Every structure is written in structure tokens, then in C-alpha cells.
Amino acid sequence: MAKTPSFTCTACGATHTKWSGRCDACGDWNTIVEDAGLSAGGKKSLGANRGSAIQLTDLQTEESPPPRTHSGIDELDRVLGGGLVPASALLVGGDPGIGKSTLLLQAAAEFARAGVKTIYVSGEEATAQVRMRAKRLGLSDAPVQLAAETNLRNILTTLEAEKPGLAIIDSIQTMWSDTVDSAPGSVSQVRSAAHELTTFAKRKGVSVILVGHVTKDGQIAGPRVVEHMVDTVLYFEGERGHQFRILRAVKNRFGPADEIGVFEMTGRGLEQVTNPSALFLSERGKPSAGSVVFAGIEGTRPVLVELQALVAPSPHSQPRRTVVGWDGGRLAMILAVLEARCGIPFAGLDVYLNVAGGMKISEPAADLAVAAALLSAREDAALPEGAVVFGEISLSGALRPAPQTENRLKEAQKLGFTTALAPSGGKAIETSGIKVQQMHDLTSFVGEVFGAG
């Protein structure tokens, strides 16, 4: 029985049962091509006669895992889960110019100085340009081998002959395989190159780091299957106007996900920040209306950041809701709860919310801090000096305790804060030097802090 042909869009990766000029998923024209099956060249299907038996083991087999390799950059090792695992594949994504190549060149130099044979393959720059950047960063003496190549076959041949401990491919979108009939950067080429490099890493015991470009939505360009192939996916985040850079692990098979490493962009490259809370709050002056300090958790690390809110009368029929560094949908939920449960309307008012320092927050424990910032801006009343806020708000107006409360309070105490506004019902915390003021719902919080409910 003849196999039904399958067609794939080279722009977005959507599959179709028949060819058409325009992709229904992404709307691009002339991007749909027919997929060639693995057994397209043969008449027989795969079966027991076509292959060989594979070796099986059980869970009781004890194999000592190879030790991790430390880069010497503590923030990078933290995000990796304690160091680089041999035979692992990593994917690093980020906006253009955010510092991906700079970070990986510094990491390559540190790994090479630690005795790991390192090869840096650039598909976007010539070797002279990479040397120029290394000289500016003070890394010229590092024993890193450089190459400028985009042909995947030549790269794999070189890696197999050199047998390095670490190979950095910058970037996966510039690689092309001569077995795929499409342009570099297409879905087929990215998927094929990532599969070949990941397979090579597992087979030869080489750690491979892939650099990935991102789309305007912040997702790594190419098929989503690339993130499933690799062991670790890291995103390099930051705002162009700020010197802070956040390296965040969104997937890690060898360590905790959502772990972050904080760096500061300087003229000498990226410098690690050992105390990000102090850095994020360094530019904060005296308490003002709309300014609230949130005690958050990023991965396993407590981080204190400043939330800034501005509430002003709107000249438009549709008030604006602008959010930077937080979820806009969650802001709409907080505004609805404040109006429905506390009787505090925001109709006819523009609302602006910003997370200072270019930080991005995703945990629900920031709900109470956002509500406090909105109320502070609306009433033009500053919160007490030395106070931090955290807690989750439910649709009923009840406050839910946040996880790792003790770590949040210890970080706040270390930076000189004396009061914490948190939900009640959580684990009893006895921390010397900091007063915990607990509330069970949003109405009591509004009444105790702002004097109205």
C-alpha cells in the first residue's frame, strides 16, 4: 500500500496532507514542501531483518556518572546545575546583541583554561573577528580553537578528528546540511543540524552548546522539536537600556529549571553578580507612591526587586494597561479582584506597571506586591519604609501563602528590611530582626495598610 505523502511548512513547521501555495498556520506563501520519509529509497518497510539488536540494561546497573566540569563562572555553573555535564547538548537563545556570543566566548575561555579542549565554531563571524572580540575581552591567551564554517558535514568531520571536550556552535540557524534541500535557517535545516549535533554529542561524549536566534515573540526560531532534542535550554534575557542580563534555565535535565544567573554588561564583557538583590535595589531611593519591593524566588535563589506602578486619569475612552516584566493577563485579574472584592474601581484610569532593572517575573507570589503598588499609586500613599511584600491572590480575594517563605524573609533581612507583608496560614516563621505582618484576605490587607476596605 502506497504511503500517503506528507507536506511541511518550512517557515513554521506545520504539517499538511496536500500541497498548497499558502500555509494555513502562518500565512506564508511558497513555503510548503514534501517530506521525504526515512525509507523512501527502499521498497520494504523497516523490520527485525533490517537492523541489529541493541544492548539493554536495568535500573540496578550501577554506573558512576562522569564528573561535571566547572567553568569558573559561578553564575553559569549555578544555571547549569553545578557545572557542565559531559555528552550533553545545550541550547542558548536570546535577542540579537544581548550578549550570547560574548558569554559563550568567555565560558569557552574559562573551560579551556580549566583543561577542557574547546572548539568555537562561528557561522556568523570570521575567525579574525572572533579574535578581535577575544582581545577586547582580555581572552587572547586562552587555548581555544576557532573555526568559521557553516557546512555541517565539515564541522562534524573536524570534531570527530579533534575529539574536543566542548564544542560551541554559533549559531544553529546558520548551519546547513547537504542532505536537506532547503536554505540555511529553514525548519528542515535547523531540525536536521540540531539532530546531527545532538546525536554526535551523545555518541562521542562531547558537550555541545548551540546558539539559537529568537523570533519577535521571544521564542527560539525554528521548530519547537529542537528544544525537546537538547538536554538544557537557556534563555539570555535583558533590556537594551539596562546593564543587567539574566541567564535563565527553562529546561534542564541535570538541574533545577527556572534557575537564574545574573550578569552585568561592562566594557570588559559580562561580569557575574553575586548579590542580585542589592544590585536591583541599588538605584531605589526613598519610598514613594507606587513603589513596592517584592521578595521573589527565581529557581532556588531569593531575589528582591522593585515593582513600580503609575495610575493616572485617562484621556481616552479605553484606558491603557501597560505592563513591562510581568504578565498583562494577571494584571487584569488583579484589577478585577480589587474592584469586585474591595470596591476599588480603576475605570477611567490608565495603569502602568514596571519591574525595575529589566527583570521578568512569572511567579504568582507577586500578586500581592502588584496590588500594593497599584493601591499605593492610586491613593498616592507610600508603603512603610523597610517593608517587603509577597503573596498570591485568589479570585475570591483570599491570600494564599507563598512557597519558600523563610528564604524570602532571610534575603529581606540581609538587605536591611524590617517588615514583611505576607498572607497568613503559611508556615510559622520566627526570624529575628524582621516583623511579619500577616493578613488572610485582600480586604484586610487594604484596610490595615491603606486604612480603607
- Given a cut of 80, is residue 38 above it in pLDDT? no
| Average pLDDT estimate for 42-68 | 69
Which of 3.40.50.300, 3.40.50.150, 3.40.50.1820, 3.40.50.2000 would CATH assign to domain 74-274?
Answer: 3.40.50.300
Model confidence band, residue 41 (pLDDT cutoffs 50, 70, 90)? very low
Residue-level pLDDT at 65? 67
| Average pLDDT estimate for 263-281 | 87
**Residue 42 annotated as lining a ligand binding site:** no
**Residue 96 annotated as lining a ligand binding site:** yes
Share of the chain above pLDDT 90, in %: 56
| Average pLDDT estimate for 24-47 | 66
Model confidence band, residue 257 (pLDDT cutoffs 50, 70, 90)? confident
C-alpha cell at 109: 575561555
* CA gap 225, 243 in Å, rounded: 32
Model confidence band, residue 165 (pLDDT cutoffs 50, 70, 90)? very high
pLDDT tens figures, 44-53: 555 556 677 7
Residue-level pLDDT at 40? 45
Residue-level pLDDT at 277? 87
Q: Nearest 5°: phi and psi at 76?
A: -70, -45
Least confidently predicted of 6-10, 199-203, 406-410: 6-10
The arrangement of secondary structure in 279-450, i.e. its CATH architecture, is: 2-Layer Sandwich (3.30)
| Average pLDDT estimate for 194-215 | 93
**Residue 101 annotated as lining a ligand binding site:** yes
- Given a cut of 60, is residue 42 above it in pLDDT? no
- Given a cut of 50, is residue 55 above it in pLDDT? yes
Residue-level pLDDT at 33? 79
Q: What is the 3 state secondary structure string of the chain?
A: CCCCCCEEECCCCCEECCCCCECCCCCCECCEEECCCCCCCCCCCCCHHHCCCCCCCCCCCCCCCCCCECCCCHHHHHHHCCCECCCCEEEEEECCCCCHHHHHHHHHHHHHHCCCCEEEEECCCCHHHHHHHHHHCCCCCCCEEEEECCEHHHHHHHHHHHCCCEEEEECHHHCECCCCCCCCCCHHHHHHHHHHHHHHHHHHCCEEEEEEEECCCCCECCCCHHHHHCCEEEEEECCCCCCEEEEEEEEECCCCCCCEEEEEEECCEEEECCCHHHHHCCCCCCCCCCEEEEEEEECCEEEEEEEEEEEEECCCCCCCEEEECCCHHHHHHHHHHHHHHHCCCCCCEEEEEEEHHHCCCCCHHHHHHHHHHHHHHHHCCCCCCCEEECCEECCCCEEECCCCHHHHHHHHHHCCCCEEEEECCCCCCCCCCCEEEEECEHHHHHHHHHCCC
Residue-level pLDDT at 47? 53
- Given a cut of 50, is residue 39 above it in pLDDT? no
Least confidently predicted of 65-74, 150-159, 201-210: 65-74
Give the number of other Cβ atoms within 10 Å of residue 280's Cβ: 23
- Given a cut of 50, is residue 34 above it in pLDDT? yes
Residue-level pLDDT at 263? 92
| Average pLDDT estimate for 74-94 | 93
pLDDT tens figures, 416-443: 899 999 998 766 566 557 889 999 999 9
pLDDT tens figures, 363-390: 999 999 999 999 999 999 999 888 999 9
